[in-house]
Structure 1
């Protein structure tokens, strides 16, 4: 009988999305990796004061991880900081937690999307560098929805498949795509605006193309339209991190949310 080889992953680019206690000295880690997608790891002993990984396994830090195992929950073997940006601060920190919640809610485990991983890494770097939060979030939301197949063609009506009229207002509906509406409707944008977003998404480097046109993204109507799709496909009415961000705006700076709270 031939022994089964145990899967071992070495030097994998990854980010910690969320962590919670497993025992007094160990953690369960939800991780977004470049070549393996979302995976769950047990970090044995990483909470001990003497652990070399204690200060490394933090959300939003670029990491290189080793793990082993073929079960749903694998065992962390090594972790090191990959260099680059540090954790964002202030509103950008909460925006980073929002990106993590989107990945946790909308991506299934063990489903790799290397290009989306690169967009996620670029979004975190932009937040850490103090770039526009709203533009960064809209760009990632668009790319996440398009990668997962949930963003319809933004150059045509969803039901009749007619090209958009540049001056006609349209709103984005989860089950019908872009539909004509009044200019005063929530989420309404001119057809020319939607078509420009579609052209940016179709560019060779969609992240750069979207970021190069911040006026396309920094609109409340686009946020409303994308929020409808995100809520529909995630099955939740509100994202926890969105509520945190609203609370910060109402009462001023708050302490950063604990990474040991239950997963959203």
Structure 2
């Protein structure tokens, strides 16, 4: 029975009940991370959360700003939580009502450079993910990165960020195939250097290109992304030896798709480095 026919059936069989008044099904115990929150009223917040089964969702956390609210110590960024919420009655609405939030445990809040890196990932998700579009593979990759950030593994910071950027671009359909040239579909030659550019995809490097990777490295990255087993760990292994070269290429591509305004977290990092 479709959602519409179920409502019509209830309206016919339950006196005084219309299809529009059928209570929405509640989402319970959903793994999630808080990406951002902002004021909704004097006592309440709108919380942007990244959930495993439902993607990015916006939730009204009523009373969350009150000192006595149980939401206050839980709705923090970069912390694994489990959420319960009631979807909006109007299917065209995308702001739902938060009913419960529990810390899932596992690690402490990142700090310092790791915290800024985590907030940078949150900003990317807010800019590039549409609400209500599930990405369980991306969610698992994000959870893995957050664990590394919480452990303050400085040596692993750059590789995990580059790996997540690759998985994010792949999941939202913005990453071209990395084993062929994008415009010609010509195969990559092993030692020939190639660059990834926003409007042209993967192409042969020109003398003016400052950073490039050989075809063998691009092939390895594509194989890791396609690996049926290994998941994020396989991408991380492939990124580790070339994370420095990938950084400017992926950052340029991400900024292009995020729009002309510089990411706020990147601006903050630049300001801190200039002090």
Could you tell me which residue of structure 2 aligns to residue 260 of structure 1?
A: none
Match of 1:107 in 2: 129
Q: How far apart are 1:87 and its partner, in Å?
A: 1.4
SS at match of 1:31: strand
Residue 51 of structure 1 is aligned with which of 63, 69, 73?
Answer: 69
Q: Deviations over 1:116-158 (max 9, x none)?
A: 1111111111111122221111000000011111111111111
Local SS of the residue matching 2:220: helix
Aligned residues of 1:187 and 1:223 also touching (Cα < 8 A): no
Q: Name structure 1 gaps, 5 residues minimum.
A: 252-264
Q: Deviations over 1:2-59 (max 9, x none)?
A: 5412231111111110011112211111111111111111111111111122111101
Q: Which has the higher contact order (CA 8 A, sep 6+)?
A: 1
1:190 aligns with 2:208: no
Q: Distance in 1 between matches of 2:111 and 2:28?
A: 30
- TM superposition shift of 1:240: 0.9
- The gaps in structure 2 that reach 5 residues or longer are 1-10, 12-17
Classify the secondary structure of the residue corresponding to 2:246: helix
Cα distance in 1 for partners of 2:65, 2:249 equals 42
After TM superposition, the structure 1 = structure 2 runs for residues 40-189 of structure 1, keeping only pairs within 5 Å, are 40-70=58-88, 71-131=93-153, 132-182=156-206, 185-189=209-213
Contact between 2:221 and 2:239, CA under 8 Å: does it hold in 1? no
SS at match of 2:174: coil
Greater C-alpha radius of gyration: 2
Q: Could you tell me whether the CA contact under 8 Å between 1:172 and 1:187 is conserved in 2?
A: no
Deviates more, 1:205-214 or 1:16-25: 205-214
Q: Does the 8 Å CA contact 1:16/1:60 hold for their aligned counterparts?
A: yes
Q: Which residue of the partner structure matches residue 259 of structure 1? A: none
Q: How far has the Cα of 1:184 moved from its partner?
A: 5.6
What secondary structure is seen at the aligned counterpart in 2 of 1:212? helix
Question: With structure 2 as the length reference, what TM-score do the two structures score?
Answer: 0.86
Of 253, 256, 263, 1:232 maps to 256
Conservation of the 8 A alpha-carbon contact between 2:84 and 2:99: yes
Alignment partners' CA distance in 1, 2:256 and 2:240: 26
The alignment partner of 1:65 has SS state of: strand
Provide the TM-score with structure 1 as the length reference. Answer: 0.89
> When the two structures are aligned, how many residues end up with a matched partner?
250
Give, in angstroms, the shift of residue 237 of structure 1: 4.2
